[in-house]
Amino acid sequence: MIFDTHAHYDDEAFNKDRDELLRSLADGGVEAVVNVGASIQSTKNTLQLMKQYPFVYGAVGVHPNETGELNDHLMDWLKHVSGEKKVVAIGEIGLDYYWNEPEPEVQKYWFVRQLNLAREVKLPVIIHSRDAAKDTLDIMKAERAGEIGGVIHCFSYSVEMAREYLNMGFYLGIGGVLTFNNAKKLKEVVEYMPLDRLVLETDCPYLSPVPYRGKRNSSLNLPCVVAAVSELKGVPEEEVIAVTRENARRMYRLDANV
């Protein structure tokens, strides 16, 4: 069954039918979901969802554009909740210069702090990097992020950059963007990368695959992404589902941690 490695079911876009939708995932072939924190509040909501639904796991962390809210006290709190059962990663953390908020120096500071938290608590990281390819890679190399491990979520860079992260031992998160007509660069990355480093993700409610582009996304749309990966890799869809599920469980160390 399908493993969705990155979702935001706490988003208000799901307020009307969250419970119904989450309860329908198993019938839609979705076995597990990692709900990813992007702020302190959404991390709290993630912990709640994780306790409510057996198939929902959690990642705790603060997205680069939200790092203005961080302080030492909240870092202590993140460390505390990272020890909860079913918390499988620190994330999403990183750099986002598309939204230049807060300023890059602030984003970098909290990116390094959260990488160090992951190292300390021995959890993998979920990296968000947008329009910040060089700074992200420089920091991850300087901090020896290869020893921490994890995923570059919604991978959006070149084959050369993919090679760098694959060499560090990272997984690449692939979602709805792969089905877009203008996703030439991402298709090259998927053709290039080994299937055993690819994990499926929705980033829902965002980034619905074709033919649902522009509508609210959910894990139920992942078969469209599976079909696209299957075609590019020349591997049957069932195999894409099985291999990416194994990848996700290995990446999040599910057998060891939970």
Query: Which listed residue (203, 229, 243, 245) binds Ni ion by CB under 5 A?
Result: 203
Residue 12 CB neighbours (<10 A):
9
CA 144 to chain centre: 20
Smallest distance, Å, CB 10 to Ni ion?
Answer: 11
Residue closer to Ni ion (CB basis): 9 or 53: 9
Helix (H, G, I), strand (E, B) or coil at 204: strand
Place of tokens 């602030």: 106
To Ni ion, the closest distance from the beta carbon of 108 in angstroms equals: 19
Which amino acid, one-letter code, is at 129?
A: S
Say how many residues make up the chain. Answer: 258
Residue numbers 139-158 binding Ni ion by CB under 5 A = none
Which of residues 98 and 142 has its CB atom nearest to Ni ion in the complex?
Answer: 98
Chain residue at closest Cβ approach to Ni ion: 203
Q: Measured from the CB of residue 72, what is the shortest distance to Ni ion in angstroms? A: 25
CB of 218 to Ni ion, least distance (A): 14
Q: How many residues bind to Ni ion according to rule CB under 5 A?
A: 1
Among 53-61, 70-78, 180-188, 199-207, the segment contacting Ni ion (CB under 5 A): 199-207
Peptide bond into 104 cis (omega under 30): no
Please identify, among the stretches 41-49, 175-183, 203-211, 224-232, the one whose residues bind Ni ion according to the rule CB under 5 A. Answer: 203-211
Query: Are the C-beta atoms of 55 and 2 separated by less than 8 Å?
Result: no
Q: Which amino acid is at 121?
A: V
10 is a contact residue toward Ni ion (CB under 5 A): no
Q: Which is nearer to Ni ion, 10 or 165 (CB)?
A: 10
Q: Which of 146, 107, 109 is nearest to 124 (CA)?
A: 146
CB of 234 to Ni ion, least distance (A): 29
Q: CB neighbours of 254 closer than 8 A, spacing ≥ 6?
A: 57, 88, 248
Judged by beta carbon, residue 96 or residue 203, the one nearer Ni ion is: 203
3-state secondary structure 70-90: CCHHHHHHHHHHHCCCCEEEE
In whole angstroms, how close is the CB of 233 to Ni ion at the nearest point?
Answer: 24
List contacts with Ni ion (CB under 5 A): 203
